[in-house]
Amino acid sequence: MSGSVDRAAMDVEGRGLKGRTRGVNARRTGWRRWVLRSLAVLTLAALLAATSACGQDEGTAASRDLRVFAAASLTEAFTELGDAFMAEHPDVKVTFVFGASSDLARQIEEGAQADVLATADKETMAGVADAVDPQVFVRNRLTIVVAPGDPLAIHALEDLAKPDVKVVLAAPEVPAGRYAERILDGQGVVVEPVSYEATVKSVVTKVSLGEADAGIAYVTDVAAAGGEVDEVPIPIAENVIAAYPIATLAGSQAGAEAQAFVDFVLSDAGQKIMKTYGFLPRPTAR
Amino acid sequence: MAAAGLAPVDLAAPDHAARRPAAGRAAGRRAALPASGRRARHRAPAGLVPLAALAVAFLALPLVAVAVRTPWGALAEELAAPGVLAALRLSLVCSLGALALSFFLGLPLAWVLARVPFRGRRIVRALVILPMVLPPVVGGVALLLAYGRQGIVGHLLEQALGITLPFTTAGVIVAEAFVGMPFFVVTVEAGLRAMDGRYEEAAASLGAGRWTTFRRVTLPLLAPSLGAGAALCWARALGEFGATITFAGNLPGSTQTMPLAVYLALQTDTTTAVALSAVMLAISLTVLVVLRDRWFRLP
């Protein structure tokens, strides 16, 4: 960058300008030295922090790390569930990674260190070779998300096909997008969305920000958004049931803790927490 | 390794060196290379060369890995898939649009920052640079809050002119210009500051108006900086992901640029994602080769 500048100056002036540019450079050099030193110190600190964190990862008996990869729609429910689990197992520290199920599955396939995986559909889980004995732990339904008070009077799926309604859907690459596609196809409704969002959470965000008029997301997402969006229920006959499987991962170095977490999710206490966030109980429960 | 790496760069541009005898330092390096060791300062301190090699490997290996994993046999097939060409076209159109916008607005801004002393200039400059260090997703959220349908400016745009930016190709250009323009402004401002003002004074004293001076003297002298700034701005816009997906959304054909297509393809089909990545890589490499060391040579 500054090279081109210097050369430009020299092209114009030959050597005449050199003294002047050197003065500027000297001032800049002092500043640069300061920046470089700060950067060096910061980098060193970051490296030290990273290595000491790795040291902790090795896991003393006092505190073991458990890394749970979970579908974006589980964010709020699993955060509370994780706290409850840690209260019961003070020696385990649970860290969540939330994201589109398909994204998480890919990360695990590419070697991300994870102990437990919970996805929003069985197809995604089936693609993870390391998943040990997946079990459905909750179910979910989908719903139409609209702005508070439903200003555009959207009452049913057909209304999403109106040309003046801006609809966002989750991308067909992620589970929520596949479910939405299945629901719309089932009713023969042709929607032309303005965007295919990368996670179901950003569908809700686009509606709550007022950028989109409507979207299709999980019932639980509307509950989690507080009053920022309203819901137009999709009748059960037109809806699909989203089954969420959970599994420990074969590559886990905390197998016992991972199994304990899965057991906790399937336990009465875990199921009760999931229910408060609007999830339906797993099919085998009672 | 270092010498072998340097030599082709210099040999590739004999025309520059010949045209610019004043580029003394570059010429000095050329002369020193064959007789390395003649001057002590050209000998690398022990340990520096292996580290440099490590750096090259660190930066180049991921790119090599893309090339290795690219399904060359099925590449044409992958690229013919629906949406890929649209994403490619959109990427080029939007990044060039962002560059045009940056040029149109950024050049005057760079000139004002470099030449007009005013109170709060440092603050303005900091604000201009901020998008460079801001995480792009945060930039996207900020864009939504400003130019979105409910945004402080966006709702006026919609009411008065019926313009909505989110979920449109124009929105992609806005997002890319937001992250790319600072690179242009900073580079051009530096060029203006380093420029010798006496040429402009001479032009003015010979009767050239301010506009004529700017057009006929300032701009030609500024050409290298404009080129470097444009290249950086365009490259940043081409790779832009976070602000785009947040502000403009993701719709094949109208807002899904190549980086977005790569990201979503990665969720289901790694092969396609790798193929798309290879295309992006090829484009970037081509641009670098075309620009060669014209704008990126170090002093």
**Chain B residue with minimal CA distance to A104?**
B267
Question: Is A126 near chain B, with CB under 8 Å?
Answer: no
Averaged pLDDT for residues B202-207? 89
Averaged pLDDT for residues B267-272? 78
* Residue B61 forms part of a structural domain: no
Averaged pLDDT for residues B136-140? 91
Helix (H, G, I), strand (E, B) or coil at A135: strand
* Residue B115 forms part of a structural domain: yes
Contacts with B297 (C-beta within 8 Å, 6 or more apart), sequence order: A3, A4, A7, B9, B13, B26
Q: Which of B182, B188, B195 is nearest to B226 (CA)?
A: B188
For B164, list phi and psi in degrees, rounded to 5. Answer: -120, 135
Predicted confidence at residue A7, as pLDDT, reads 44
Closest partner residue to A6 among B166, B194, B227, by Cβ?
Answer: B194
pLDDT digits (tens, 9 = 90+) for A173-206: 888 999 999 999 999 999 999 999 988 889 999 9
Percent of chain A residues past pLDDT 70, beyond the cut:
85
pLDDT band at A5 (very low <50, low <70, confident <90, very high): very low
Handedness of CA A161, A164, A170, A172 (dihedral sign): positive
Contacts with B215 (C-beta within 8 Å, 6 or more apart), sequence order: none
CA distance B212 to chain A (A): 19
Distance CA A133, CA A49 (A): 36
Provide, as residue numbers in chain A, all residues whose Cβ is less than 8 Å from the Cβ of B190.
Answer: 1-2, 5
Predicted confidence at residue B95, as pLDDT, reads 94
Provide, as residue numbers in chain B, all residues whose Cβ is less than 8 Å from the Cβ of A193.
Answer: 251
The yes-or-no verdict on residue B2 having pLDDT over 80 is no
Cβ of A198 and B245 within 8 Å?
A: yes
CA distance B186 to chain A (A): 10
CA distance A163 to chain B (A): 15
Cβ of B249 and A198 within 8 Å?
A: no
Q: Give CA separation, A83 vs A18, A76, A93, A264, in Å.
A: 65, 11, 9, 12
**Domains in chain B, number:** 2
Give the domain extent around B34. Answer: 1-43
Residues B102 and B35 placed together within one structural domain of the fold? no
Residues B123 and B210 placed together within one structural domain of the fold? yes
Other CB atoms within a 10 A radius of the CB of residue A230 amount to: 18
Residues B231 and B101 placed together within one structural domain of the fold? yes
Question: Is A26 near chain B, with CB under 8 Å?
Answer: no
Distance CA A177, CA B150 (A): 25
A12 or B158, which is more confident? B158
Question: Is A201 near chain B, with CB under 8 Å?
Answer: no
Regarding an ipTM greater than 0.95, the answer is: no
Q: What is the CATH number of the domain that holds B127?
A: 1.10.3720.10
The yes-or-no verdict on residue A9 having pLDDT over 70 is no
Residues B138 and B282 placed together within one structural domain of the fold? yes
Cβ of B249 and A196 within 8 Å?
A: yes
* Residue B52 forms part of a structural domain: no
CA distance A245 to chain B (A): 18
Residues B27 and B102 placed together within one structural domain of the fold? no
Percent of chain A residues past pLDDT 90, beyond the cut:
47
Cβ of A3 and B299 within 8 Å?
A: yes
pLDDT band at B112 (very low <50, low <70, confident <90, very high): very high
Averaged pLDDT for residues A75-99? 92
Percent of chain B residues past pLDDT 90, beyond the cut:
35
* Residue B266 forms part of a structural domain: yes
Residues B125 and B25 placed together within one structural domain of the fold? no
Residues B97 and B179 placed together within one structural domain of the fold? yes
Predicted confidence at residue B19, as pLDDT, reads 42
Cβ of A211 and B195 within 8 Å?
A: no
The yes-or-no verdict on residue B33 having pLDDT over 60 is no
Closest partner residue to A9 among B24, B194, B228, by Cβ?
Answer: B194
Predicted confidence at residue B78, as pLDDT, reads 81
Residues B132 and B230 placed together within one structural domain of the fold? yes
B281 or B32, which is more confident? B281
Could you tell me how far CA B240 lies from the centroid of its own chain? 10
CA distance B269 to chain A (A): 9
Residues B159 and B19 placed together within one structural domain of the fold? no
Bridging pattern class, strands A131-146 and A230-233: antiparallel
pLDDT band at B82 (very low <50, low <70, confident <90, very high): confident
The yes-or-no verdict on residue B94 having pLDDT over 90 is yes
Cβ of B150 and A8 within 8 Å?
A: no
Residues B178 and B278 placed together within one structural domain of the fold? yes
Helix (H, G, I), strand (E, B) or coil at A3: helix
Residues B118 and B19 placed together within one structural domain of the fold? no
Cβ of B267 and A171 within 8 Å?
A: yes
Predicted confidence at residue B81, as pLDDT, reads 77
Could you tell me how far CA A242 lies from the centroid of its own chain? 17
pLDDT digits (tens, 9 = 90+) for B227-242: 889 988 998 999 999 9
Residues B111 and B201 placed together within one structural domain of the fold? yes
Question: Is A166 near chain B, with CB under 8 Å?
Answer: yes
Mean pLDDT of chain A: 83
Cβ of B190 and A5 within 8 Å?
A: yes
Mean pLDDT of chain B: 82
Averaged pLDDT for residues A37-56? 72
Lowest mean pLDDT among A31-45, A166-180, B134-148: A31-45
Provide, as residue numbers in chain A, all residues whose Cβ is less than 8 Å from the Cβ of B264.
Answer: 171, 173, 196, 198
Predicted confidence at residue B11, as pLDDT, reads 35
B41 or B195, which is more confident? B195
CA distance A209 to chain B (A): 7
Residue type, A267: S
Cβ of B251 and A103 within 8 Å?
A: no
* Residue B51 forms part of a structural domain: no
* Residue B33 forms part of a structural domain: yes
Cβ of A7 and B224 within 8 Å?
A: yes
The yes-or-no verdict on residue A94 having pLDDT over 80 is yes
Averaged pLDDT for residues A237-263? 91
CA atoms within 13 A on the CB side of B254: 15
Predicted confidence at residue B114, as pLDDT, reads 92
Distance CA B202, CA B191 (A): 19
CA distance B59 to chain A (A): 18
Predicted confidence at residue B299, as pLDDT, reads 44
Averaged pLDDT for residues A209-234? 90
Choosing among B232, B236, B260, B264, which should be mutated to test the A contact, i.e. which has the most A CBs within 10 A? B264
The yes-or-no verdict on residue B283 having pLDDT over 50 is yes
Residue type, A4: S
Could you tell me how far CA A84 lies from the centroid of its own chain? 21
Contacts with B222 (C-beta within 8 Å, 6 or more apart), sequence order: A8, B188, B191, B192, B195
pLDDT band at A55 (very low <50, low <70, confident <90, very high): very low
DSSP lists the bridge partners of residue A244 as: A138
Bridging pattern class, strands A280-281 and A131-146: antiparallel
Contacts with B186 (C-beta within 8 Å, 6 or more apart), sequence order: B110, B128, B129, B132, B229
CA distance A173 to chain B (A): 6
**Chain B residue with minimal CA distance to A105?**
B267
Token pair for A25: 């450079």
Predicted confidence at residue A28, as pLDDT, reads 57
* Residue B131 forms part of a structural domain: yes
| Furthest-apart CA atoms within chain A: distance in Å | 90
Choosing among B189, B250, B266, which should be mutated to test the A contact, i.e. which has the most A CBs within 10 A? B250
* Residue B62 forms part of a structural domain: no
Distance CA B80, CA B275 (A): 11
